[in-house]
Amino acid sequence: MSKHVVILGGGLAGLSCGYELVQRGHRVTILEREAHVGGMASSFIEDGEEYWTQDFGPHRFHSQDQNLIEHVRDILGDNVVTAQRLSRIVMFNKFFHYPLVASNALKNMPRHLVVKALLDYAWVRFLDSTRLRRFSDRDFESWVTRRFGKTLYRLFFGQYTEKAWGLHPSKISSDWASQRITLLNLWDTIKKTLQRPDAGDTPRTLVRSFIYPKYGGIGELPRGYARRIEESGTGSQVLTNAPAVRIHRDGMRVTGIEYGKHKRLMIDADEYVSTIPVTALAKALAPRAPDHLIQKVNALEYVSIVFVYLKLNRPSVSPDSWVYLPEKHLTIHRISEFKNFSPYCAPKDKTMICAEITCRRGDEIWRASAERLQEIAEKDLMSVGLIGPGEVLEAQIRKIPFAYPVYDLDYRDNLQPVMDYVHGLENIRTTGRQGNFRYNNMDQSVEMGRKLGLELATGESTDHDKVATGKEYFG
């Protein structure tokens, strides 16, 4: 029998879930807060005299699952190019390969630091292997120092992490390091960089080629899902500008969703799926969740990102898909150049750089004027020699409030009761990056969404909640 499922959030998790449901004849209504679908994988197209596309920073789709890649190719149709990833780190005004390539790092690092890094590394390995010192793996700083030594930690990991998270690495859980840094130590890094790239077990960080929409930016993938859902003949709808405001319940059973920006409407369904931040879900329950739970919810934090897009009067800045800028004196921590994802993202003789600045909602950066943000990005890029004076034609600003879940030292203790409570609701399932408070990638949000859609459609368990819980997925 056909069901009606209401899905909160029109990002990749919500849309891919809806897609699997409509494929099996069910009806879905997707409620998306923004004026467009895509969530973090959204793109913005300017199609006037010139054609430009913007993503929220670099968005490289990669999966080791060939079936998933074929599925994405199917959604994108012929609108696909294969891009080559190059990502580097700029330090001391030089480019270092990312992940580190030993020969390039040794050549570009000041001599005294090379000696210091090697001695530190040998020392830390000696202390660890002989157990002369007990290293704690509790926080990011100690996890990385144990594996790379103090100097490399400080140069390549510590200052970048502190900038990107706005939190000292000793206050960040090592969960994040163990999920994102696939390479276990310096020796591993050297071995892996000598291997053929794109080999079967290559960590995500090292994979070179990836598919990307020729036109339209990464947002073509969510738009492709939305089109197929609306054209499925099931009466399904993707509603934008439709924030879920209240989740009405009777005990632990959801009875309907109140949504809308100006005019409030009610919708009910046989089942519900939420891909909105789990913190927002818990806070939107009516009647309210218990106070002790709301306290836990309030202790869970997200990093926000401000994106500064600079249109430049030159065909290219670098061949990199993205570049990290870890040095402390710079405010921006990463830039991406969309033309290196698809050459059609900008006019031939011009290019666009997207500079990222992390912050917290409501802080000084979040509230800064467009002029001030442009000034910060321009100054940083000029100071490392990536652009020259007077090259910026135009700047635009975009913001994401819930970009990264903050894995501070207490996040597990705060998250567990919230997840337990939400899982206790009978007829609403939570999934996706926001729904799980999980630092996962696009392919994993798609996999979670598709598996949950399949589970709701067939009634058979798909273990959608196990996606992106293994370390092999990250990097």
Give strand ranges (E) for 26-181. Answer: 27-31, 43-47, 51-55, 80-84, 87-91, 94-97
Rg (CA), the chain: 23
Pick the binder of ligand FAD from 443, 447, 455, 465 (CB under 6 A). Answer: 443
Q: Candidates 78-86, 144-152, 293-301, 439-447 — which segment interacts with ligand FAD by CB under 6 A?
A: 439-447
Q: How far apart are CA 421 and CA 48, in angstroms?
A: 49
Q: Are 156 and 114 in contact (CB under 8 A)?
A: no
Residue type, 434: Q
Instruction: Say how many C-beta atoms besides its own lie within 10 A of residue 1's C-beta.
Output: 5
Burial class (CB in 10 A: 0-12, 13-18, 19+), 130: exposed
442 binds ligand FAD (CB under 6 A): yes
Closest by Cα among 330, 307, 321, 390 to 93: 330
Q: Is 20 an interacting residue with respect to ligand FAD (CB under 6 A)?
A: no
Region binding ligand FAD by CB under 6 A among candidate stretches 28-36, 71-79, 340-348, 379-387: 28-36
d(CA 350, CA 111): 38
Q: Does 456 bind ligand FAD (CB under 6 A)?
A: no
Considering only 37-45, 46-54, 106-114, 233-241, which stretch makes contact with ligand FAD by CB under 6 A? 37-45
Strand-pair partners of 44: 54
For residue 434, state whether it binds ligand FAD (rule: CB under 6 A). yes
- Proportion of the chain in helix, strand, coil states, percent, rounded to 5: 40, 25, 35
CA distances to 106, 113, 130, 363, 420 from 116, rounded to whole Å, are 12, 5, 21, 37, 47
422 binds ligand FAD, rule: CB under 6 A = no
The span from the CA of 439 to the CA of 433, in Å, is 6
As measured in angstroms, the least distance from the Cβ of 145 to ligand FAD is 26
**Cα(28)–Cα(452) distance, rounded to whole angstroms?**
13
Task: For residue 11, state whether it binds ligand FAD (rule: CB under 6 A).
Answer: yes
Q: Which of 14, 18, 158, 475 binds ligand FAD (CB under 6 A)?
A: 14
Question: Which of 356, 321, 354, 317 lies closest to 81 in space, CA to CA?
Answer: 321
**438 binds ligand FAD, rule: CB under 6 A:** no
| Residue 99 near ligand FAD by CB under 6 A | no
CB of residue 377 to ligand FAD, shortest distance in Å: 15
Contact residue for ligand FAD among 5, 6, 7, 13 (CB under 6 A): 13
* Contact indicator for 126, 105 with CB cutoff of 8 Å: no
> Using the rule CB under 6 A, is 445 a contact of ligand FAD?
yes
Decide: is 217 part of the binding site for ligand FAD (CB under 6 A).
Answer: no
Taking the complex as a whole, how short is the minimal distance between the CB of residue 327 and ligand FAD, in angstroms?
A: 20
Could you say whether residue 243 binds ligand FAD (CB under 6 A)? yes
x/- map, 352-391, ligand FAD, by CB under 6 A: ----------------------------------------
**Applying CB under 6 A, does 41 fall inside the site for ligand FAD?**
yes
The reply to whether 405 sits near ligand FAD by the rule CB under 6 A is: no
Q: Please answer whether residues 16 and 445 qualify as being in contact, where contact means their C-beta atoms are separated by less than 8 angstroms.
A: yes
- Per CB under 6 A, the list member of 182, 304, 441, 462 interacting with ligand FAD is 441
Among 151, 232, 440, 462, binds ligand FAD (CB under 6 A): 440
Q: Which of residues 299-328 bind ligand FAD (CB under 6 A)?
A: 305
| Shortest spacing between CB 9 and ligand FAD, in angstroms | 3
Place of tokens 């939400």: 422
Site string for ligand FAD, 42-81 (x = CB under 6 A): --------------xxxxxx--------------------
DSSP state of 173: B
Sign of CA dihedral 251, 256, 258, 260: positive
Residue type, 361: R
Stretch that binds ligand FAD, among 146-154, 263-271, 412-420, 427-435 (CB under 6 A): 427-435
Q: Which residues bind ligand FAD (CB under 6 A)?
A: 8-14, 31-34, 39-41, 56-61, 243-244, 275-276, 280, 305, 400, 403, 432-434, 440-443, 445
